Structure 1
Amino acid sequence: MLDASVTQQLSQYLAMLREPIELIASLGEDAKSAETRKLLETIAGLSDKVSARFDGDDARKPSFEIRRASSPELKVRFAGLPLGHEFTSLVLALLWAGGHPPKVADETIAAIKALPGDYDFEMYFSLTCHNCPDVVQALTLMALTNPRVSATLIEGGTYQAEVDQRGVMAVPATFLDGAMWGSGKMSVEEIVAKLDTGADERAAAAIAEKEPFEVLVVGGGPAGAAAAIYTARKGIRTGIAAERFGGQVVDTMGIENFISVPYTEGPKLAASLEAHVKEYDVDVMNLQRAEKLIPAARQGGFHEVVLANGASLKARTVILSTGARWRNMNVPGEAEYKAKGVAYCPHCDGPLFKGKRVAVIGGGNSGVEAAIDLAGIVAHVTLVEFDQNLRADAVLQAKLRSLPNVDIITSALTTEVLGDGSKVTGLTYKDRLSDAVHRVELEGIFVQIGLVPNTEWLKDSVGLTLRGEIEIDARGETTAPGVFAAGDATTVPYKQIIISMGAGATAALSAFDYLIRLPAEDEVMEAA
């Protein structure tokens, strides 16, 4: 099951265990149970601090519990095999159960321990989902830190009947005390904040005490990270306020055009960005959503960014790098059936539609790649494209057309998502050449039609195009003096990671140039 190199790596990790752990399996007579037994026997054979038992009586078979021998109340359960993207989650669970300290801020650990209540989590993941490990690892950490938190992490492919019965059509899907609680990626900080109702107030109070920044970066994607690094290296007091550090990169699977790096994955790149930023004296304020920008009344004054929690931050210059998000179709039924058949991540949710009929909306590279990937999992794929021709690269189009279970419909405007109240049953589209309306019966719809900038909150502050992009000049400056912008939220013509990084550096250098031409800070403070 584990090849020699992986087994060797796992052995090295297990050498880090500080105290004994126990693996307790509940198994049936099926092939998955046999694979689970083999995996646990392999793990136990690699360290004298790991023991494995096979007398568990949990209803889910196969499943296994990982618990600290000296504190058996600290435990986490995996139902199904945590391999693929979740193998790292398994390794971390073993390490944390064995007393190896997690790389998490002390205040986060303290917040987990202080949670006021008992919490029983069940979370569904797929082995191809690159968004799932964050949630799996967050719940694992919580269960192995606070005995009042229990977590069962379920591989949906092994428990397909359970997935269907509970109506899970998108992962990660998190249930709390038997009820649906969260859909989509969440960090441990986000989960704790959602459980701790006083977290926002404490965060707002802490932010209120901060002195004004010389540069405040709003957004933590590639552009924001690059901007912060460049300004921090100039010795400028820099802060980052980000709703989610890494931005949309975190949701990107394979990255093959990042020059000098032949292949990487979004979550890995996002982690590297954050680690690089933290090498400098940058005040990173994560989980902070900006809601309003109040530009300075005069040159050299302070700009103000109002946050969703009611706090505000002030700075002499601001760099806007809020990025973009997946574009919705904005048709009847889309919002109603989101996560009930309407999905935006084929890698994450594709396995949940095994043997079913699905549609992909969009004929660009993303849409065609999604259709190709899904064709290997589902029964049939219908690709629906608004234009007369597909816009994807020729090599991708050739691959798509070679697949026997794919239909391609062009000049088609999707008009409605159909459902039975609980799940998607089909869609309608209008033929743009004949105006005829057609219906397609299916069970899943994957939307891949591009991006929309996260700029609604800026409409009264800086100049925006009709598409909502921030208008910038060659230096990254907006229509508001002292406010700069970079990345996918701007009018930069190509939305690429490497271009966003360069634009972030440009905006940072422009902000520095702007600052050194301003009156001294004490003069501004006296005039304020």
Structure 2
Amino acid sequence: MLDQNLKDQLKSYLANLREPIELVASLGEGKKSEETRELLEAIEGLSDKVSATFDGDDTRRPSFIVRRASDASRWVRFAGLPMGHEFTSLVLALLWAGGHPPKVSDEVLEQIRALEGDFNFEMYFSLSCHNCPDVVQALTLMALENPRITATLIEGGTFQDEVDARDIMAVPATFLNGESFFNGKMTLEEVLAKVDTGSAAKAAEKLDAKEPFEVLVVGGGPGGVSSAIYTARKGIRTGIAAERFGGQLNDTLGIENLPGTEYTEGPKLTGDLGRQVASQDSIDLMNLAVASKLIPADRPGGLHKVELENGAVLKARSLILSTGARWRSLGVPGEQEYRNKGVAYCPHCDGPLFKGKRVAVIGGGNSGVEAAIDLAGIVGHVTVIEFDTQLRADKVLVDKLRSLPNVEILVNAQTTKVTGDGDRVNGLGWKDRASGDEHDLALEGVFVQIGLVPNTEWLEDSGLELSKHREIVIDAHGKTNMPGIFAAGDCTTVPYKQIVVAMGAGSKAALSAFDYLIRTEAAEDVAKAA
């Protein structure tokens, strides 16, 4: 179950336990239960502060709880084996139960402990889902910090009957007190914002009280973070208002084209960027800050204002807009109705839920072809549907796709609808663009991979120039049509939407903002001198 290298690493982590912990397993017959026993016995053997028993009476088998020996009221349950992406989550559960402090602020911990009411969470994950660990770890920490919160974390492949009964077609899928709570990735702060009804008003009041920034970066993806790092290194007071720190990096698995980094993954890169931001005293990171309106300054050197969805207003002498983009929707009947019921956008996360089934991938670019190749190793059959007359992916990817025996490719084909039985997807319609003939395709999953839409709706009435594709128009320096407002990354007219391009563009926009600030006197200073 654990090789020697993993055992050595885990033993070093368990040396940080401050208090004894208990692992209580509920096992049945079969290989999964045997593997669970083997895992828990291995963990027990690595620390004298860990004890494992196998007399649990939970109906989910195999499953086990992690709890502090001195307080049985605080526990988290893993149902199925938390390996793969979730092994780190298991390690953190062991450490937190044993009194090792989590890397969150005291303010957040107090918010968890102060929650009133009973919160019984059930969350389904897959071992290949790179979005799931954030949710698993958030619920784990909440359950171990507040005795009125429980968290049962369920590996969907082990409990397929539950997955089918609850019509779960995408992970992470979270239930609260028996009812659907949220489908998709959530950070700890996002979970708290949903269950703590007074948190939004408190956050707005805190943000509203902030002094004006010299540079305010709107967006927390690679472009925005690069901007903030550059301005902070110039000694400039910088704010980052991020709807979700990391942006689309959080949804990206393998990254192999970042110079100097042979391989990394999006969540890891997000963590690295977060640590770099935290090391800069002059950066104020405001996560879960969703911009809703831009009010440009009325004169050069004046303060730009950014209104947030929670009602707060942030002010700054200069702005760098780096709000990124999101997956483009098909826009056909049935897509929204069956979202998370067979319509999916992340093959890495949701692919395992379609094991042995028939699925379609819409899109023949690199993302679509990579998704189809990944899915072909899991599902029964993949149909790739491309609107163009040929696949647009790199030749090496196309050649690999064509070599797979369970893949069919349809080009010059337009997806016209997604169909279902009311509960889940059962097919789609497509039209042959050459002949005009309409066809129906029976399947159980649709993975949409057709590009990006810039997150610029909030700028529509600001006076900022947008292209016909609603991208922010910028020049070679990252300047917009408004003095003191710059932009970078996937939300702009930059021709290539890539992580490394966004990082470079963000750095360039930061240097342009710095140049603007040193050449433009603050409006209030001009007024005082008059």
Q: What TM-score, normalized to structure 2?
A: 0.99
Map of 1:216 onto structure 2: 216
Counterpart in the other structure of 1:498: 500
Taking the aligned partners of 2:265 and 2:316, their CA distance within structure 1 comes to 34
- Tell me which residue corresponds to 1:387: 388
Code of the residue aligned with 1:173 in structure 2: it is A
TM-superposition CA deviations, 1:266-290 (whole Å, max 9, x none): 0000111111111112111100100
Q: Within 5 Å, which residues of 2 pair with 1:321-400? A: 321-400=322-401
Q: Report SS of the residue matched to 2:72.
A: strand
SS of residue matched to 2:66: strand
Distance 1:92 1:290 in 2: 33
In the alignment, the residues of structure 2 paired with residue 95 and residue 400 of structure 1 have an alpha-carbon distance, to the nearest angstrom, of 43
Q: Which moved more, 1:133-142 or 1:395-404?
A: 395-404
Question: In structure 2, what residue type is equivalent to 1:285?
Answer: M
1:481 equivalenced with 2:488 (yes/no): no
Distance 1:524 1:269 in 2: 43
Q: Which of 454, 459, 465 pairs up with 1:463?
A: 465
Are the counterparts in 2 of residues 301 and 524 from structure 1 also a CA contact under 8 Å? no
Distance 1:392 1:3 in 2: 38
Match of 2:145 in 1: 145
Give the corresponding residue for 2:62: 62
Q: Secondary structure at the match of 1:325?
A: strand
Alignment match, 1:245: 245
CA deviations on 1:136-167 (whole Å, 9 max, x unpaired) are 00000000000000000000000011100110
Alpha carbons 2:300, 2:523 under 8 Å: kept: no
User: Displacement, 1:517?
Assistant: 1.0
Q: Deviations over 1:288-325 (max 9, x none)?
A: 10001011111111100000001111111000000010
Conservation of the 8 A alpha-carbon contact between 1:382 and 1:408: yes
Write out aligned runs for 1:126-525 (5 A). Answer: 126-280=126-280, 281-461=282-462, 462-520=464-522, 522-524=524-526
Whole-Å separation in 2 of the counterparts to 1:362 and 1:525: 56
Distance 1:326 1:524 in 2: 45
How many percent of aligned residue pairs carry the same amino acid?
Answer: 70
Cα drift, residue 526 of structure 1: 4.7
- Secondary structure, counterpart of 1:349 in structure 2: helix
Q: Deviations over 1:465-490 (max 9, x none)?
A: 11111000011000111100000100
1:112–1:192: 8 Å Cα contact kept in structure 2? yes
Q: Which moved more, 1:516-525 or 1:11-20?
A: 516-525
> Counterpart of 2:122 in structure 1: which amino acid?
E
2:302·2:524 contact (CA, 8 Å) conserved in 1?
no
Task: Normalising by structure 1, report the TM-score.
Answer: 0.99
Q: Once superposed, which parts of structure 1, at least 4 consecutive aligned residues long, lie more than 2 Å away? A: 524-528
C-alpha RMSD of matched pairs (Å): 1.0
Q: CA deviation at 1:233?
A: 1.1
Cα distance in 2, alignment partners of residues 21 and 279 from structure 1: 33
Give the whole-Å Cα distance in 2 for the aligned partners of 1:463 and 1:289. 21
Q: Structure 2 CA distance, aligned partners of 1:432 and 1:290?
A: 40
- Checking the alignment, whether the CA contact within 8 Å between 1:419 and 1:425 is kept in structure 2 is yes
Letter in structure 1 aligned against 2:313? S
Alpha-carbon shift at residue 524 of structure 1 (Å): 5.0
Where in structure 2 are there 5+ consecutive unaligned residues?
A: none
Please tell me whether the aligned partners of residues 23 and 51 of structure 1 are also in contact (alpha carbons under 8 angstroms): yes
Distance 2:54 2:165 in 1: 28
Q: Deviations over 1:17-47 (max 9, x none)?
A: 0000000000001110000000000000000
Which whole-Å deviations, capped at 9, do the CAs of 1:35-89 have from their partners, x for residues lacking one?
Answer: 0000000000000000000000000000000000011111100000000000000
* Conservation of the 8 A alpha-carbon contact between 1:214 and 1:236: yes
State the shift of 1:355 in Å.
Answer: 1.1
Do the aligned residues in 1 keep the contact of 2:223 with 2:504 (CA within 8 Å)?
yes
Supply the AA of the counterpart residue of 1:103: K
After superposition, what is the alpha-carbon deviation per residue over 1:379-404, rounded to whole angstroms, capped at 9, x for unaligned? Answer: 11110000000011111111111111
Between the aligned partners of 1:464 and 1:245, the Cα distance in structure 2 is: 24
One-letter amino acid of the structure 1 residue matched with residue 414 of structure 2: L
Q: Equivalent residue of 1:40, what SS?
A: helix
Cα distance in 1 between the residues matched to 2:524 and 2:217? 22
SS in 2 for 1:144: helix
CA distance in 2, matches of 1:140, 1:249: 23
Between the aligned partners of 1:384 and 1:460, the Cα distance in structure 2 is 37
What residue identity is the alignment partner of 1:432? R
Task: Give 1:460 shift.
Answer: 2.0
- 8 A Cα contact 1:296 1:304, kept in partner: yes
Q: Letter of the 1:490 partner, please give it.
A: T
Alignment-derived partner of residue 101 in structure 2: 101
Instruction: Give the length in aligned residue pairs.
Output: 528
Any idea what SS the aligned residue of 2:446 has? Answer: strand
